[in-house]
Structure 1
Amino acid sequence: MYQRVIANTPKFLMFDLQPLIENKQFIFGADYILIRPQQNGGTLYLSSTDIPLVVGQLVLIAPFNPFKISGEALNNNDSAGDVLHFRLNALGQTFIDSIQFTNIKNMLDNAKQGLLFDSGGLETVFEIMDNIENSFDFKQLLNILMLLDQLTKTPSQQCLESHPITFSTTKRTENRVDIVLQYIATNLAEPLTVTIVAQQLHMAESTFSRFFHTHLGVTFRQYLIEQRVKQAARYLVSTDWTIAHIGAEVGFSSLSNFNEKFKTLLHVTPRHYRVNHLSLRENIDTSQSIQGQLQKQLHHWQTSASIAP
């Protein structure tokens, strides 16, 4: 029905179609979620409300609305249903605030309480969903907009939460970013991947990739390499460890990989960096001198291409 593409690029911002699977912990996702069960037997837990998932219905959930889905029928079963993750940032605020978008915007605002569509009249919506696939074709953006527009014309909208939990989106986002950055900082020596770090926030990989790029301005891989190189530069100045040991200490898989990434970012090899910055040891009690030098040398990095770790 659709192609699965791992949406781990910042260019993939608008949507991501995933199979409906069980998640045992409450998720506070950064995306709008549209759930389409295609088998009975699952249950959606939305804050304090339990909703049996039944074929022929749709559930729309706004960002940062806690939910989880359970049911043995959903495990390892790609035909159990679909979950469409989508966000509005990629459209631009002018488009979102346009009068033509008003009905969709009002519907999405109501999704803060969870919206259930289950009284028929969804055939056209399902037909559009069947044509959505994870690709970069422009028609996929049109499909998403057509889907949202058609949902606003469906009369069977039922709010699921009469007293929804109110969350501070800004504060929650800050907390989640802090969790990720702290986890990366304390695990640089480990083989960090998008999958591993996304699990810390109970996010799907593609959702996490979009979340990270939106709030940090760079991809996960770019940020990880920058942090590893920064920490390596500090070790080169502050310790007498061998270059191979430092590379391993900050998580590079090989000495050649370490040398390559270090030189790409700082335009000098680790050995030459150590030789050229021995004077910084005079101020070793403070890290400001090292940090200042690194910031100057990394000022072009933000515009560089993504580099695989």
Structure 2
Amino acid sequence: MYQKIVANTPKFLMFDLQPLIDNKNFIFGADYILIRPKKNGCILHLSSTQIPLAVGQLVLLAPFNPFKISVEAVNNKITVGDALHFRLNALGQTFIDSIQFNNIKNMLDHAKQGLLFESEELESLFEIMDNIENTFDFKQLLNILMLLDQLTKTKPQQILETHQLAFATTKRTENRVDLVLQYITTNLAEPLTVTIVAQQLHMAESTFSRFFHTHLGVTFRQYLIEQRVKQAARYLVSTDWTIAYIGAEVGFSSLSNFNEKFKTLLHVTPRHYRANHLSLRENIDNSQSIQGQLQKQFHQWQTNVVV
């Protein structure tokens, strides 16, 4: 029985296990998807390509690869397997960029063309999938990571060629994400709002909010606050500017608001943060040293941020 939980809730960002059934329409989502057929007779449609699937196989698809499943059965609503949707943004960029995650990241990059696995080694992966449930237990996160890690040790049986539309759409999406992040960085001191930034992408506010949360894993407001606090922390270490000036420089409307948001994220006031990191000023002429030390602070901070 599937303990179904809506996957796009703020508290449920990592994965969503769904039954694999016949789909009349193509699914075009922002998640990675692992497809595991449990019955023969399934056909995977990737744009104009059709791939028959069988028990014992596993398919990995990257985001924005449009697909659908057709089932050779009288009752096309019968559950024929599992579809495990998962997303990286819930892990945080620091974790994704870590050396330990490198093999998984490389595998997921290759999944843009679709990967079909078929091996006796998949049995241990299927056991992990059988233990995955849509719950908030920490062990479910470990199951997902263990599943991906073991999958990197299995060579794909086939690379599935998808229609070029999927690649073009993925590239356009990546460009849009880059554009909005660059705009936020460049205009951090300005009174940024969803309306203002949505206009840069020619999107309605509601559409932009969904787009931003899907691809960044946090709301626009939360991301903006995090970036302002991070930039403020850099200024606290690398300049002699006053606390009030720094708060205004990174876009906070008042000193009290700056102090509140800074303390919420870093668990210390701007004044105490500067005092606690005076040792970094010894390398004030070495921007790389400062950046490296600050990055360590932000790595620790990101693991504790509550969205």
Query: Residues 104-115 of structure 1 correspond to what in structure 2 (within 5 A)?
Result: 104-115=104-115
The answer for the alignment partner of 1:36 in structure 2 is 36
The answer for the alignment partner of 1:270 in structure 2 is none
Question: What whole-Å deviation, never above 9, does each CA across 1:195-253 have from its counterpart, x for those lacking one?
Answer: xxx9xxxxxxxxx99639947548xxxxxxxxxxxxxxxxxxxxxxxxxxxxxxxxxxx
Query: Residues 86-165 of structure 1 correspond to what in structure 2 (within 5 A)?
Result: 86-161=86-161, 164-165=164-165
The answer for the alignment partner of 2:46 in structure 1 is 46
Question: Distance in 2 between the 1:19 and 1:179 partners?
Answer: 36
Question: Distance in 1 between the 2:159 and 2:153 partners?
Answer: 16
Structure 1 position 20, deviation (Å): 0.3
Q: Structure 1: where are the runs of 5+ without partners?
A: 185-197, 199-207, 219-295, 304-309
Asked whether the equivalents of residues 14 and 88 of structure 1 are also in contact (C-alpha less than 8 Å), the reply is yes
Structure 1 position 180, deviation (Å): 8.8
The answer for the alignment partner of 1:75 in structure 2 is 76
Structure 1 position 94, deviation (Å): 1.2
CA RMSD across the alignment: 3.4
Count of aligned positions: 199
Asked whether the equivalents of residues 12 and 210 of structure 1 are also in contact (C-alpha less than 8 Å), the reply is no
TM-score normalised according to structure 1 size: 0.56
The answer for the alignment partner of 1:58 in structure 2 is 58
Amino acid in the other structure paired with 1:66: P
Q: Find 2:214's aligned residue among 211, 221, 226.
A: 211
Query: Residues 1-309 of structure 1 correspond to what in structure 2 (within 5 A)?
Result: 2-73=2-73, 75-78=76-79, 80-161=80-161, 164-165=164-165, 166-169=167-170, 171-172=172-173, 181=204, 211=214, 214=217, 217=220
Return the structure number with greater relative CO, CA threshold 8 A, min gap 6: 1
Question: Distance in 1 between the 2:205 and 2:90 partners?
Answer: 28
The answer for the alignment partner of 2:180 in structure 1 is none
Q: Structure 2: where are the runs of 5+ without partners?
A: 178-197, 222-252, 262-307
Measured at CA, do residues 72 and 10 of structure 1 come closer, stay the same or move farther in structure 2, by a change above 3 Å?
farther
Asked whether the equivalents of residues 120 and 156 of structure 1 are also in contact (C-alpha less than 8 Å), the reply is no
Question: Distance in 1 between the 2:66 and 2:161 partners?
Answer: 12
Question: What whole-Å deviation, never above 9, does each CA across 1:164-219 have from its counterpart, x for those lacking one?
Answer: 542243634869x98994898xxxxxxxxxxxxx9xxxxxxxxx99639947548x
Find the residue that maps to 2:26 and give its secondary structure. strand
Measured at CA, do residues 21 and 162 of structure 1 come closer, stay the same or move farther in structure 2, by a change above 3 Å?
closer
